[in-house]
């Protein structure tokens, strides 16, 4: 279903396509653990453009394409002519002559959209200021592993900044029918257009999406509590101001008293202990958080296999 398609946003995927990715990710993870090779992308090359820093995205995509029999090329904007002003539409058409797929991490979401418009090969969004779809698909896989397959019975609470992760959680929850309560300060809400789109996606699955200013209200009876940095990449200059505003949004033991007894805490990483999460809450949930990090590999292998495979 996804063959030859781009993966720019979970909003663009059908409900079936979301579950197809999760199911294949679980299958590829099991194969990898059993030592069964799955070289479905033998001879294929993925270009990975980075205009922002990365640990997980870079390593998991590069290792992932290698495990599928292909090769990954790390393309930093510091080295590409793109970084000196070559238009994205020209870069897209040139790279399409060499590569079988392009992953890009950048600032404005419009850059990814333009790249995809001009590229003849699948384009995968490795994070923009607006969205982080690969991470949220990964998180859905991790939730299934820790909380079972019935998303409709689960409540997730997102506490913190209304950023690219929040926007993608809204899209992800809407597609799988999960309840999602978002708590952010009122001047740091998730993107309005994303919120509206997600509400409309939720009509298909019955997902309940809500926003509140109150972390306690959002976390009430939640099965999954999730947070992210208060100052995303590109917002470093706002860090000190944000740090003051977001203090009530810290995920700590006191806040978690409101969650369900067996609640898990997730974080896409990198985490800033003492800011959005306390060290003790992080370490108590380290097994889930590092499963989440590992699952980037498996989820993205599924995404690459589905979008880049000829068959
Ligand atoms: N979570 C995530 O995308 O991590 P990196 O910024 O290290 O890629
Ligand atoms: N919101 C964070 C996510 C990092 C993976 C950022 O954009 O910096």
d(CA 115, CA 179): 33
Residue nearest to atom 6 of ligand 2 (CA): 232
Kindly give the number of the ligand 2 atom that is closest to the alpha carbon of 135. 5
Ligand closest to the CA atom of residue 126 = 1
Q: Does any ligand 2 atom lie closer than 6 A to the CB of residue 59? A: no
Q: Does any ligand 1 atom lie closer than 6 A to the CB of residue 268? A: yes
Residue nearest to atom 7 of ligand 1 (CA): 55
d(CA 135, CA 268): 7
The per-residue pLDDT for range 180-233, each reduced to its tens digit, is: 999 999 999 999 999 999 999 999 999 999 999 999 999 999 999 999 999 999
Cβ–Cβ under 8 Å, residues 21 and 6: no
The per-residue pLDDT for range 86-130, each reduced to its tens digit, is: 999 999 999 999 999 999 999 999 999 999 999 999 999 999 999
Cβ–Cβ under 8 Å, residues 91 and 117: no
Tokens of 96: 């399409």
Residue of 268, 294, 297, 303 to mutate, ligand 1, most atoms within 8 A of C-beta: 268
What is the end-to-end Cα distance of the chain in Å, rounded? 11
Residues with catalytic roles: 105, 132, 135, 228, 268, 296
* Ligand 2 center from residue 159 Cα (angstroms): 14
Confidence of residue 1 (pLDDT cuts 50, 70, 90): confident
The per-residue pLDDT for range 60-77, each reduced to its tens digit, is: 999 999 999 999 999 999
Average pLDDT over the chain, rounded to whole? 98
d(CA 126, CA 104): 5
Ligand closest to the CA atom of residue 165 = 2
Q: Does any ligand 1 atom lie closer than 6 A to the CB of residue 267? A: no
Kindly give the number of the ligand 1 atom that is closest to the alpha carbon of 134. 3
β-bridge partners, 224: 156, 264
């Amino acid at each position: 279903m996804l063959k030859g398609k781009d993966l720019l946003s979970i909003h663009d995927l059908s409900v079936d396509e979301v579950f197809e990715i999760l199911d294949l990710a679980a299958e590829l993870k099991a194969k990898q653990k059993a030592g069964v090779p799955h070289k479905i992308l033998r001879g294929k090359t993925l270009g990975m453009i980075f205009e922002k820093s990365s640990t997980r995205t870079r390593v998991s995509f590069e290792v992932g394409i290698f495990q599928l029999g292909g090769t990954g090329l790390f393309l930093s904007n510091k080295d590409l002519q793109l970084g000196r002003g070559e238009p994205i539409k020209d870069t897209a058409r040139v790279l399409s002559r060499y590569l079988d797929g392009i992953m890009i991490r950048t600032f404005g979401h419009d850059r990814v959209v333009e790249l995809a418009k001009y590229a003849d090969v699948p384009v995968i969004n490795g994070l923009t200021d607006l969205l982080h779809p690969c991470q949220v698909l990964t998180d859905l896989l991790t939730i299934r592993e820790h909380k079972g397959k019935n998303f409709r019975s689960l409540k997730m609470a997102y506490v913190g900044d209304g950023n690219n992760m929040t926007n993608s959680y809204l899209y992800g929850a809407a597609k799988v029918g999960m309840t999602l309560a978002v708590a952010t300060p009122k001047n740091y809400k998730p993107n309005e257009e994303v919120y509206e789109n997600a509400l409309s996606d939720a009509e298909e699955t019955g997902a309940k999406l809500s926003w509140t200013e109150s972390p306690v209200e959002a976390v009430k009876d939640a099965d999954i509590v999730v947070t992210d940095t208060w100052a995303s990449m590109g917002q470093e200059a706002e860090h000190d101001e944000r740090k003051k505003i977001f203090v009530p949004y810290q995920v700590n033991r006191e806040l978690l008293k409101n969650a369900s007894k067996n609640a898990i805490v997730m974080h896409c990483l990198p985490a800033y202990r003492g800011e959005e999460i306390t060290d003790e809450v992080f370490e108590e949930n380290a097994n889930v958080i590092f499963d989440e990090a590992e699952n980037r590999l498996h989820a993205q292998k599924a995404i690459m296999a589905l979008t880049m495979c000829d068959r």
